[in-house]
Amino acid sequence: MSSIAASPGEVSTQVRRRKQRASIARIGLLSATTFSIFALGVLLWTIGSRGWDWLSWDLLRNAASRRPLDAGLNTALLGTVWVISLTAVIAFPIGVGAAIFLEEYASQNRLSKIIQVNIANLAGVPSVVYGLLGLGIFVELLDLGRVILAGALTMALLSLPVIIIASQEALRSVPLSLRQAAYGVGATRWQVVRHHVLPAAFPGILTGTILSISRAIGETAPLLVVGAAGLITTNPEGFLSRYTVLPVQIYRWTGLAQGEFKNGLAPAGIIVLLVVLLGMNSFAIVLRQRFTTRND
């Protein structure tokens, strides 16, 4: 582009070269993009080909065991169900409540700004640090011990920022005219929120919550720290039972010396974990589509 006084021949070779470079770049960029898909494929294939033979109903029914052929995921699956349900029950109302406060109640003052910045920063705190928080407060200070309740409270704190941010986005997308109409006929603030804004925002809130809960299912580090670590062979019976969860069980199996655990049971456990996550995510997508079509 620098040579203004160049001859027509020079210009045309230059243009050709630039066009060539552009088309090579297109191929390079496309292959970089498809690298993700390639990596995903290799990962799934590696795990699928190793774990497939170990998948059986017994794997889901049996408790953990030191003998590979008897070992199963039952205890871990139940632990995951207990911890995650309790996490959802704790985090969902608090998260939605906080989002409603920030979007519908708080004036744009200093306090709400501090809360907002704080939530954004909490979302960036490494999950293992939440584990240390849970260990310090729930396990030691409140002396709950290494039980389901302590794990669920920790996971609830971890999931809250994501639930709040997703719910805020859903609330923000509700048109202002809806609120004004409700206020116009004399509804109070809570009536506006309860009867008009929340129902309209609910699909978005629910989708965000399910996605954040499904991320919690795959979280390993915080639960390792608050004590899901030991070899647990008895099924949990209540909030105060010792427990283990799916990803922690996979972690333990990966670390065992016997090859069957590392090369068979661990990938089989990963397949179960991925199926659970895929199920949750598809559920969220179906839910969202169902609600949006009904709203239209």
Partner 1 sequence: MSTPLPGKPESLAALQRTLRGSAGRHSSERLIGWILAGCAILSVFTTIGIIAILLEQAIEFFLEVSIWDFLTGTQWTPLFKNDQRFGVLPLVAGTAMIGVLSMVVAIPLGLMAAIYLSEYASSRVRSVLKPFIGLLAGIPTIVYGYFALTFITPRLLKPVISDIQVYNVLSAAIAVGIMVLPMVASLSEDSLRAVPRTLREGAYGLGATKLEVSTQVVVPAALSGIVAAVILAISRAIGETMIVSLASGSRAQLTADPRESMQAMTGFIVQVVSGDVSRGSLIYKSLFAVGLLLFVITLVMNIISQWFVSRFREVYT
CA neighbor of 267 nearest in space, from 48, 100, 97:
48
* Alpha carbons 246 and 266: distance in angstroms, whole number: 10
**Which residues 115-134 are close enough to bind partner 1 by CB under 8 A?**
115, 118-122, 124-133
Q: How far is it, in rounded angstroms, from Cα 134 to Cα 145? A: 10
**Candidate segments 73-81, 105-113, 174-182, 235-243, binder of partner 1 by CB under 8 A:** 105-113
Confirm or reject binding of residue 113 to partner 1 (CB under 8 A). Answer: no
* Interaction of residue 97 with partner 1, rule CB under 8 A: yes
Choose which of 10, 12, 13, 40 interacts with partner 1 (CB under 8 A).
Answer: 40
| 73 touches partner 1 by CB under 8 A | no
User: Is 106 an interacting residue with respect to partner 1 (CB under 8 A)?
Assistant: yes
Query: Tokens standing for 152?
Result: 């669920």
Examine residue 161 and tell whether it contacts partner 1 (CB under 8 A).
yes
Residue matched to tokens 């059986």? 56
Nearer to partner 1, 66 or 237 (CB): 66
**Considering only residues 221, 232, 268, 272, which one is a binding residue for partner 1 as defined by CB under 8 A?**
221
Is residue 58 classed exposed, middle or buried when 0-12, 13-18 and 19+ CB atoms within 10 A define those classes?
middle
Q: Which residues of 143-154 are buried (b: 16+ CB within 10 A; e: fewer)?
A: ebebbbbbbbbb
3-state secondary structure of 125: coil
Binding of partner 1 by 55 (CB under 8 A): no
Q: Are 187 and 195 in contact, with CB atoms under 8 Å apart?
A: yes
Q: Which residue, 238 or 270, has its beta carbon nearer to partner 1?
A: 270
CB 244 within 8 A of CB 64: yes
CB 132 within 8 A of CB 227: no
**Given the complex with partner 1, which of 142 and 237 has the nearer CB atom?**
142
Q: Which is nearer to partner 1, 128 or 294 (CB)?
A: 128
Cβ distance to partner 1 smaller for residue 105 or 237: 105
| CA separation for the pair 169, 184 (Å, rounded) | 24
Interface stretch with partner 1, choices 29-37, 59-67, 201-209, 236-244 (CB under 8 A): 29-37
Give yes or no for residue 52 binding partner 1 (CB under 8 A). no
140 touching partner 1, by CB under 8 A: yes
